Amino acid sequence: MQGDGDAVEAVRRDPDAVAVVRADALTPGVAALPVDGRDPVADPRRYPVTVAADTEPGPVVTTLWAGDIMLGRRVGDEIVRAGDPALPFSRTAHRLGAADLTVGNLECTLSRAGPPTQGGDSFGADPAVLAGLKKAGFDVLTLANNHLGDFGIEALQNTVRIAQNAEFVTTGAGADLAEARRPAIVRVHGIRFGILAFNAIGETPAARPTTPGVVQVRMPPRTGPLVPSDLAAVEASVRVLRSRVDVVVVCPHWGQQYTHEPVPAQRTVARRLVDAGADAVIASHPHWVQGIEHYRGSLVAHSLGNFVFDMEFSPEVRQGIVLELVFWGARAMAARPLPVRIGERYVPYFLAAGSREAREIIGDMYAVA
């Protein structure tokens, strides 16, 4: 097994390298080669090449993680024109819904109970859009971002309540700090997934012991130097969650907009979260795809970019990644970036594997890993 481990590490370090190893030696840092259309990680029992010593994979769980989902403003106008809340997902629902667990960052309110706080960049959507998210297969919505407060505290609370009443599991926001810190816990094929989220961008009020808001971590580049007590509180949440579930994922909303390069503080915080027990850190906010890296066997995706958004001013804001993580039981076996482009009417679609744009997006991601 040591030989397999060395070979996997060699492939991880050199994208042009190829190795033959047992399936149970794989990690999210490498890609497995399908044979006869069968994937050895996602479909191990039907993979045509086997050896007697292969480890029984246990339950295979496929998860998908999408970037920023904004269903207001011009996206909302297109939904109204179509008379179909599922319009934004009409070209991706087939794959989103096929996963065992699908997670996205909802970057808009579902209420306009107060005046807009960010002018034309205040994002409010009709609650009817949740029917489209549900039809597309989303299970968990992370809410800790800088736009959940765009129409005030009452709208923030309404959004949390409306999403939960529609049977979405949410995390990152609530009527007080205890609710905002409450993880989303989902059981899939007997495996318990726990998800936490926090906002490092500001603008949305931070939750306090008796007041509504989002989980906050103050850090560069937007909310000042890293505040140790903020990070320590999230680390404590990770450690508690680690004792309750099989897989822990943290979803930060952080970073500098419109760049592929993570700020140094992202790497610092990500490593601290992994050290506390996170199996993956999967982030949003920059509106461009940022690097994926691996630390102590855990995956860090610094930004998945946009998934549904009405930005049009550069090619990069119309590109994103849906990250597929495949688990054997509680063990992450594979991470596959699935490039997407936002097309006409702000409807994203998966790019053909190997296409020029898909290669460019993946290249941008790995160039700054």
List, for residues 199-217, the tens digit of each pLDDT value.
Answer: 999 999 999 999 999 999 9
- Give the whole-angstrom CA distance, residue 69 versus residue 333: 27
User: Distance (Å, rounded) from C-alpha 169 to C-alpha 184?
Assistant: 6
- The Cα–Cα gap between 280 and 104 comes to 15
Domain boundaries, the chain: 2-46, 60-367
Second CATH level (architecture) for the domain 60-367:
4-Layer Sandwich (3.60)
Beta-carbon contacts of 81 under 8 Å, excluding residues fewer than 6 positions away, are: none
Task: Return the exposure string of 358-369: e unless at least 16 CB atoms fall within 10 Å of the residue's CB, then b.
Answer: bebbbebbeeee
Question: Who's near 61: CB < 8 A, 6+ residues apart?
Answer: 100, 101, 188, 189, 191, 326, 327, 329
Q: Are 350 and 319 in contact (CB under 8 A)?
A: no
Give me the amino acid identity at 236. Answer: A
In sequence order, what are the residues at sequence separation of 6 or more whose Cβ sits closer than 8 angstroms to the Cβ of residue 255? 200, 221, 262, 263, 266, 283, 285, 286, 290, 302, 303
Two tokens, residue 365? 């991601």
- Residue 104 CA to residue 15 CA, distance in Å, equals 29
* 255: nearest Cα among 152, 368, 367: 368
Query: Edge-to-edge strands of the sheet including 280-282?
Result: 184-188, 191-199, 247-253, 280-282, 298-301, 292-295
Query: What percent of the chain is predicted at pLDDT more than 70?
Result: 85
The residue type found at 309 is: F
Q: How does pLDDT run along the chain (369 residues), one tens digit per residue?
A: 456 656 555 555 655 556 565 566 566 766 665 654 566 676 665 555 565 545 667 899 999 999 999 999 999 999 999 999 999 999 999 999 999 999 999 999 999 999 999 999 999 999 999 999 999 999 999 999 999 999 999 999 999 999 999 999 999 999 999 999 999 999 999 999 999 999 999 999 999 999 999 999 999 999 999 999 999 999 999 999 999 999 999 999 999 999 999 999 999 999 999 999 999 999 999 999 999 999 999 999 999 999 999 999 999 999 999 999 999 999 999 999 999 999 999 999 999 999 999 999 999 888 876
9 within 8 A of 18, measured Cβ to Cβ:
no
